[in-house]
Amino acid sequence: MMPERKIRIGVLFGGRSAEHEVSLVSAASIINALDTSKYDVIPIGITPEGRWLSAANALALLKEKSGVDNLPEHLIVPDPRRQGLLGIHNASSSNVENQAEGMEVKPLDVVFPVLHGTYGEDGTIQGLLELADVAYVGAGVLGSAVGMDKVIQKQLLENAGISIAPYSFFLMNEFEANEKDMINSIEKKLHYPCFVKPAHTGSSVGISKAHGRKELIAAVQLASQYDRKILVEKSIERAREIECSVLGNDEPVASVPGEIISSNEFYDYDAKYVDGKSTAIIPAKFSKAVTKKIQQIAASAFTILDCAGMARVDFLVQRNGEKIYLNEINTIPGFTSISMYPKLWEASGVKYSDLLDRLVQLALERHAEKQTLKTTFKPKNEWYR
């Protein structure tokens, strides 16, 4: 008998995002851990300017920030007949459209997006992959978009009865037109300290903790560099930062929760990636009842927000579990060597390589299920002629 063909998996990384560098580190961990006896791994890098590349050394060149101009471009196009990467050789941005015919095609069975942040985690790449009819790991268009928008996410969770910290939000044009009244409203509703966040970033990029009016104004100005929609949250003081990983499609399961001990006042970008001083307690020290409640809320939020494949759900927990606030959900969590998503599953009995296998299988199962659905309809009369 002929051996079963390897699964052709495109690992998609980099991108036009403030989390570009985090994506590169996550992708390196995933590529190194994928079992090459099962998979043909095809690296697909996107530069900070948006140029698509595919070569064995694409990841290394993006990390070095040099040599990418010498690589041929490879694109996924929204044509379901292609279902793969199209190579564009010796093509400049001005003549790409004229090279549509006769391009090299690298077929793909599944794509693993490791694009943290904008243009990757927000439904944009997912929409392209849906149009291309290629299976992909993680949430679909809606789940990705809602997971990325911290405000819409909170509104849906709040409507479903899940506890979240008090918050306000505004668009920057509103703030600039009526700054004094908006600051007074925030101070009256939320008090200090409070957190100021761009609505559509991750990895704590652009986030500040404000202890007074001067810091609040500066925090808004920083956040506005990354987004036009700004979220302000009441700080839940003396809360424990808890994370829980979720895996599955229609019947998600949650890992043991873990606790983050931040090296800074809050778990900012430096505390997450740079200084190496933050620590994690896995599993978090809670009673069985509190642990189960955190897991139930995490799985419930995953379903409410229409997620799929994977997500990491972050909580703020007070008084040993008497009060549990869901902070946010992350639909493409970090996969670096220090990332909580795989570490929590490892503590739950699922090895890193097995976790990747399961995520690929979930993507293929979800894609196969979609293939059973009709995308055409024949009316009784051809009324449109």
Q: Which domains does the chain have, with CATH numbers?
A: 7-136 (3.40.50.20), 166-234 (3.30.1490.20), 240-371 (3.30.470.20)
Instruction: State residue 98's pLDDT score.
Output: 44
pLDDT band at 91 (very low <50, low <70, confident <90, very high): very low
- C-alpha–C-alpha distance, residues 232 and 25, integer Å: 30
Residue carrying structure tokens 């942040």: 117
- C-alpha–C-alpha distance, residues 317 and 236, integer Å: 9
If 0-12 CB within 10 Å is exposed, 13-18 middle and 19+ buried, where does residue 240 land?
Answer: buried
pLDDT in tens, 245-269: 999 999 999 999 999 887 666 665 6
Residue 75 has pLDDT above 80, yes or no: yes
Single-letter code of the amino acid located at 145: A
Average pLDDT score over the chain: 89
Residue 94 has pLDDT above 50, yes or no: no
Give the residue, 334 or 100, on which the prediction is more confident: 334
Q: What percent of the chain has pLDDT over 70?
A: 91
Residue 1 has pLDDT above 70, yes or no: no
Instruction: State residue 96's pLDDT score.
Output: 44
- C-alpha–C-alpha distance, residues 62 and 23, integer Å: 11
Tokens of 110: 């599944």
A 10 A CB-CB count for 375 gives 8
Instruction: State residue 269's pLDDT score.
Output: 63
Q: Is the CB of residue 230 less than 8 Å from the CB of residue 223? A: yes
Q: What percent of the chain has pLDDT over 90?
A: 69
Tell me what the mean pLDDT of segment 294-311 comes to: 97
Edge-first strand listing for the sheet containing 167-171: 167-171, 229-234, 194-198, 208-210
Tokens of 99: 């090279």
Instruction: State residue 89's pLDDT score.
Output: 64
Helix, strand, or coil here: 185? helix
Residue 299 has pLDDT above 60, yes or no: yes
